[in-house]
């Protein structure tokens, strides 16, 4: 059960059950679609950017608990961040879920994201956790094509 | 082969002596996963291997390894014997008229591609149709789409109903004079549906249309007689029938195999080669260019011996009991829905738990030592048909027990507790 706890932490279960910002943003000026063809996870990330600052984030779609909680936590962290700060978070998250960053060392920057460090113990689930973040990057870069985990 | 008395008793009760003996033949079943005894319920993906098959592979490389055909030395003859014995075993296992109708390929996928390339692509014309069903594995969809792209033919799909059965009236209606080839799965790997292929083949033959049967989910679960079925092609994979990976079988009627062009060119598939002209070898060698998977074929022959030793009738009976027990146990779980409720099913159960994604189910019960598959099972159109992204799938083999079903059920209870 202890391993289970490291993956399905309370924060992840909570965000899965009650996802934050789980809506289409009608005033979004950036958006992108992300898809994991292996499990059917599919999300659209909406971002409203003003003067290089992320004003609002929303997302729609469906998928497993890990992917949905990841999208939800991400959306709650982005408001007010500059695009450069968001890019940094994306990189940090990727390092966390692949086990290349130690959450204890980067405790100040990691915050809520620490809940996802357990994902690194489950290689089959890293793509689930990363999907929303890859999609966010595409949205910020204003890319038109659908982001896929299988490229 | 002398049979011990116990092995002819049906495996009726829980954990009967007979089933324990079967389990003892599969060394991997003794291992633990995540600190728990392995409960392997992913048999539709691949089966585990009995010691006899592993030993055959080992002995081949330890004692007999050599290249087959044309070798005059002792080892080459031993290797050739093992390889051709594998062909004979397979031929009698599926009731082929002669061993020459057995072509060794890498697996079901390659078998279908071979027929698509060497027969159907050559004979089909723009406007003609290839008919498949709505429950095919991607390997029985994509090769035909490629043929259609290259020839201007059309791929038609017989729809399935809410239970996951072929809509028979539609099949009948769609068998028009435009259809030049029918390719259907016998047992659906994601729904468990057993299709009435005997009748379907007969109906296609009434219109003079040849039929390929994808038997990937059949051969280690149900007795097959290709002469009785009268199918024109039957394909399956070794690794799903207790054999090694990388070896599979294409059965084809002699008349078709002889008219088909070669699949690949190279050694062994020729009678004579000059720069002016090459004369192709007879079947089956015409389709077996290059050094084949000798170890794989030899071990596959051993897998056939193993299945025959246990007996497909008893395997079928035991798996049907497991299917019934597992179906009833699963349906006792609140919020659980089974996808694929055909009247005639094999021991494959796809299911959904309300509000919980199949991937989360799979990860959590893996920590209990239970191996199931989650995802689209290479049948995305089936997922689209049922409006779901994925399922969790438990698929059984002869060595599974009712106790293992109980472990699965307890694991699912745990999944529900995590997400309550």
**Contact residues, A window 49-68, toward B, CB-based 8 Å cutoff:** 62-66
Q: Tell me, yes or no, if B223 comes closer than 8 A to chain A by beta carbon.
A: no
Q: Is the pLDDT assigned to residue A150 strictly greater than 90?
A: no
Average of per-residue pLDDT across B184-210: 98
- With an 8 Å Cβ cutoff, is A3 touching chain B? yes
Pick the CATH number of A2-145 from 3.50.50.60, 3.40.50.2000, 3.90.1010.10, 3.40.50.1100: 3.90.1010.10
* Structural domains of chain B ordered from first start: 5-30+311-419 (3.90.1150.10), 55-308 (3.40.640.10)
Which residue pairs from B252-255 have beta carbons closer than 8 angstroms and sit at least 24 positions apart in sequence? B252/B101, B252/B103, B252/B115, B253/B101, B254/B97, B254/B98, B254/B100, B254/B101, B254/B283
Chain B, nearest residue to A12 by Cα: B419
Tokens of B191: 């729904």
Q: Does B364 touch chain A (CB under 8 A)?
A: yes
Per-residue pLDDT of B323-368, as tens digits, reads 999 999 999 999 999 999 999 999 999 999 999 999 999 999 999 9
Q: Do B364 and A8 touch (CB under 8 A)?
A: yes
B418 touches chain A (CB under 8 A): yes
Domain layout of chain A by residue ranges: 2-145
Would the pLDDT of A40 be above 90? Answer: no
Rounded CA gap, B233 and B251, in Å?
5
Asked if B96 contacts B251 with a C-beta cutoff of 8 angstroms, the reply is yes
Using CB atoms within 10 Å of the CB of residue A9, give its burial: 0 to 12 exposed, 13 to 18 middle, 19+ buried.
middle
Taking the CA of residue B70 and the nearest CA in chain A, the distance in Å comes to 45
Q: Which of B54, B378, B388, B409 is catalytic?
A: B378
At residue A142 the predicted structure's pLDDT band, cuts being 50, 70 and 90, is: confident
Report yes or no: A4 at the B interface, CB cutoff 8 Å.
yes
pLDDT of residue B3: 41
- On whether any CB of chain B is under 8 Å from the CB of A42, the answer is yes
Minimum-distance CB partner of A38 among B360, B375, B418: B375
A124-138 burial: b if 16+ Cβ within 10 Å, else e: ebbbbbbbbbbbbbb
Within an 8 Å CB–CB cutoff, is residue A40 touching chain B? yes
Quote the CA–CA distance of B224 and B230 in Å, as a whole number: 11
pLDDT classification of B6: cutoffs 50, 70, 90: very low
Q: In sequence order, what E strands does B284-353 have? A: 336-339, 348-353
Interface contact A4-B375, CB threshold 8 A = no
Phi first, then psi: give them for residue B133, nearest 5 degrees. -115, 170
> Given pLDDT bands bounded at 50, 70 and 90, which one contains residue A43?
very high
Q: B374 and A39: CB-CB below 8 Å? A: yes
**Residue A144 in this model has a pLDDT that exceeds 70:** no
B378 is catalytic: yes
The answer to whether the Cβ–Cβ distance between B389 and A39 falls below 8 Å is yes
For B69, phi then psi, to 5°, come to 60, 140
Q: Which residue has the tokens 């060794």?
A: B104
Q: Measure the CA–CA gap between B257 and B233, rounded to whole angstroms.
A: 9
**Cβ <8 Å between B363 and A125:** yes
3-state secondary structure of B83: helix
Alpha-carbon gap: B346 to the closest alpha carbon of chain A (Å): 24
Query: pLDDT tens digit string along B90-147?
Result: 999 999 999 999 999 999 999 999 999 999 999 999 999 999 999 999 999 999 999 9
ipTM of the prediction greater than 0.85, yes or no:
yes
Per-residue confidence (pLDDT) for residue B4, from 0 to 100: 42
Angular region, A118: left φ>0, alpha ψ -120 to 50, beta rest: alpha
Q: Give the number of other Cβ atoms within 10 Å of residue B343's Cβ.
A: 8
Which among B33, B42, B359, B367 is the top mutation candidate for probing chain A, defined by the most A β-carbons within 10 Å of its own β-carbon?
B359
pLDDT of residue A145: 67
């Amino acid at each position: 059960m202890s391993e289970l706890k490291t993956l399905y932490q309370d924060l992840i279960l909570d965000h899965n059950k009650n996802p934050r910002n789980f809506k289409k943003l009608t005033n979004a000026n950036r958006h992108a679609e992300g898809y994991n063809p292996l499990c059917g996870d599919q999300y659209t990330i909406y971002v409203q950017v003003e003067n290089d600052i992320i004003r609002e984030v929303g997302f729609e779609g469906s998928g497993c608990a890990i992917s949905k909680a990841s999208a939800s936590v991400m959306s709650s962290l982005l408001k007010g961040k500059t695009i450069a700060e968001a890019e940094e978070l994306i990189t940090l998250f990727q390092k966390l879920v692949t086990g290349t960053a130690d959450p204890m060392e980067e405790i100040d920057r990691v915050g809520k994201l620490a809940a996802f460090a357990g994902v690194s113990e489950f290689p089959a689930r890293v793509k689930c956790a990363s999907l929303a973040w890859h999609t966010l990057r595409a949205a910020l870069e204003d890319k038109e094509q659908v982001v896929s985990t299988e490229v | 082969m002398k049979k011990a008395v116990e092995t002819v008793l049906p495996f009726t009760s829980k954990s009967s002596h007979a089933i324990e003996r079967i389990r003892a033949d599969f060394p991997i079943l003794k291992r633990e996963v995540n600190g728990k005894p392995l409960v392997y319920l992913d048999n539709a993906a691949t089966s585990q291997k009995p010691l006899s098959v592993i030993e055959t592979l080992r002995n081949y490389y330890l004692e007999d390894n050599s290249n087959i055909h044309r070798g005059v030395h002792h080892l080459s003859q031993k290797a050739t014997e093992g390889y051709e014995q594998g062909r004979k075993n397979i031929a009698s296992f599926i009731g082929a008229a002669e061993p020459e109708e057995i072509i060794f390929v890498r697996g079901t996928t390659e078998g279908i591609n071979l027929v698509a390339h060497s027969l159907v692509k050559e004979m089909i014309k723009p406007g003609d149709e290839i008919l498949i069903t709505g429950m095919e594995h991607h390997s029985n969809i994509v090769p035909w789409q490629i043929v259609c792209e290259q020839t201007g033919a059309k791929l038609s799909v017989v729809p399935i109903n809410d239970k996951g059965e072929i809509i028979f009236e539609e099949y009948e209606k769609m068998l028009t004079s435009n259809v030049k080839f029918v390719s259907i799965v016998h047992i659906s790997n994601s729904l468990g549906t057993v299709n009435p292929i005997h009748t379907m083949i007969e109906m296609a033959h009434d219109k003079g249309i040849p039929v390929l049967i994808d038997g990937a989910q059949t051969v280690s679960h149900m007795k097959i007689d290709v002469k009785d079925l009268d199918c024109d092609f039957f394909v399956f994979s070794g690794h799903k029938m207790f054999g090694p990976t990388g070896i599979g079988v294409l059965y084809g009627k002699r008349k078709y195999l002889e008219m088909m062009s070669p699949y690949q060119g190279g050694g062994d598939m020729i009678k004579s080669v000059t720069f002016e002209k090459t004369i192709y070898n007879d079947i089956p060698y015409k389709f077996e260019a290059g050094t084949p998977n000798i170890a794989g074929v030899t071990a596959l022959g051993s897998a056939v011996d193993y299945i025959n030793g246990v007996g497909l009738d008893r395997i079928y009976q035991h798996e049907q009991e497991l299917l019934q027990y597992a179906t009833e146990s699963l349906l006792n779980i609140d919020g659980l829905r089974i996808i694929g409720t055909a009247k005639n099913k094999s021991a494959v159960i796809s299911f959904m738990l309300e509000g919980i994604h199949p991937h989360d189910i799979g990860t959590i019960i893996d920590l209990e030592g239970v191996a199931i598959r989650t995802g689209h099972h290479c049948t995305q159109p089936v997922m689209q048909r049922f409006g779901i992204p994925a399922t969790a799938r438990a698929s059984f083999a002869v060595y599974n027990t009712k106790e293992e079903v109980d472990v699965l059920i307890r694991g699912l209870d745990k999944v529900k507790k995590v997400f309550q």
